[in-house]
Amino acid sequence: MNAILPPAATGFGILTLITVVPLLGAVVALFSGRHARGVALFTALINLALALVIWTRLPADGGIGLVERLAWAPSLGIEYHLGVDALGALMVLLSSIVTLMSIDAAHRVHHQPGLYYGLVLTLESGLFGSFTALNFFHWFLFWELSLIPAFFLIKLWGGPRRGPAATQFLVYTMAGSVALLICFLAVFLATGSMDFGQLTAMAQSGALTEAVTAHLGPVMFWLAIGVLAGFSVKVPLMPLHTWLPAAYAEAPSPVTMLLTGAMSKMGVYGLLRIALPIFGAQIATMRTPLLALAVITVVMGAWAAAAQKDLKRVFAYSSVNHLGYCLLGIFALAIPISGATQTNQAAALNGVILQMFNHGLTAAAIFWFMAIIQMRSGGLRGIDDFGGLRKPAPVLAGMMGIALFSSLGLPGLNNFVSEFLIFRGVFPLSWIGATISLLGLLVTAAVLLTVIQKVFTGPAPERWAAFPDLHHSERLALAPVLVLMLLIGLVPQLILNAVNPTVLNLLAHWRF
Partner 1 sequence: MLAFALYISFAGALLQALLPKSRPGLARWLALATTIAGLAIAIAGYAAAFGQGRQVLVDVPWVASMGIHYLLAADGISRVVILLTGIAAVAGVLFSWNVELRTNQFFAFYLLLIGGVYGVFLSFDFFLLFVFYEIAIVPKYFLISIWGSTRREYGAMKLVLYSFVGSSMILIGLLAAYAASGAHSTSLIALAHAGLPVSFQMWCFPLVFIGFAVLAGMWPLHTWAPTGHVAAPTAASMLLAGVVMKLGAYGCLRVAIAVFPHGLDPWGFTFLGLASWRDVFALLAVIGIVYGALVALAQSDFKFVIGYSSVSHMGFVLLGLMTFNQIGLDGAVLQMFSHGVIAGLLFAIVGRIVYDRTHTRQFADLEAMHLSRRLPFAAWVFVVAGMASMGLPGFSGFIAELQVLIGAWTARPWWTIAAGIGIVVGVAYTWRALQRAFFSDRIPTPHELESEHAHKLAPITWPEIAGVALLGVSTLVVGLYPRILLGAIEPAVKALLGGVQ
Rule CB under 8 A: which residues touch partner 1? 71-76, 78, 112, 115, 137, 140-141, 144-145, 148, 152, 155-156, 162-163, 167, 170-171, 174-175, 178, 182, 185-186, 188-189, 216
Q: How far is the CB of 272 from partner 1 (least distance, A)?
A: 21
User: Which residue type is seen at 445?
Assistant: A
Give the nearer residue to partner 1 in terms of CB position, either 100 or 274.
Answer: 274
Angle at CA of residue 429, ends 231 and 322, nearest 5°: 45
Give the nearer residue to partner 1 in terms of CB position, either 62 or 126.
Answer: 126
Give the nearer residue to partner 1 in terms of CB position, either 76 or 508.
Answer: 76
Write the burial class of residue 201 (CB in 10 Å: 0-12 exposed, 13-18 middle, 19+ buried): middle
Give the nearer residue to partner 1 in terms of CB position, either 230 or 501.
Answer: 230
Give the nearer residue to partner 1 in terms of CB position, either 82 or 506.
Answer: 82
Q: How far is it, in rounded angstroms, from Cα 206 to Cα 204?
A: 5
For residue 472, give the 3-state DSSP assignment.
helix
Helices 14-30 and 86-105, axial angle in degrees (round to 10)? 20
Q: How far is it, in rounded angstroms, from Cα 217 to Cα 354?
A: 38
Q: How far is the CB of 185 from partner 1 (least distance, A)?
A: 6
Give the nearer residue to partner 1 in terms of CB position, either 144 or 469.
Answer: 144
- By the 8 A CB rule, do 134 and 196 touch? yes
Give the nearer residue to partner 1 in terms of CB position, either 163 or 412.
Answer: 163
Total Cβ atoms within 10 A of residue 445: 16
Q: How far is the CB of 96 from partner 1 (least distance, A)?
A: 22
φ/ψ of residue 148, rounded to 5: -65, -50
Give the nearer residue to partner 1 in terms of CB position, either 159 or 428.
Answer: 159
Q: How far is the CB of 367 from partner 1 (least distance, A)?
A: 23
Total Cβ atoms within 10 A of residue 267: 26
Q: How far is the CB of 184 from partner 1 (least distance, A)?
A: 10
Residues listed for the chain:
512
Q: How far is the CB of 221 from partner 1 (least distance, A)?
A: 16
Helices 276-285 and 220-234, axial angle in degrees (round to 10)? 110
Q: How far is it, in rounded angstroms, from Cα 436 to Cα 287?
A: 16
Cis-peptide into 254, omega within 30 deg: no
Q: How far is the CB of 251 from partner 1 (least distance, A)?
A: 15
Q: How far is the CB of 30 from partner 1 (least distance, A)?
A: 9
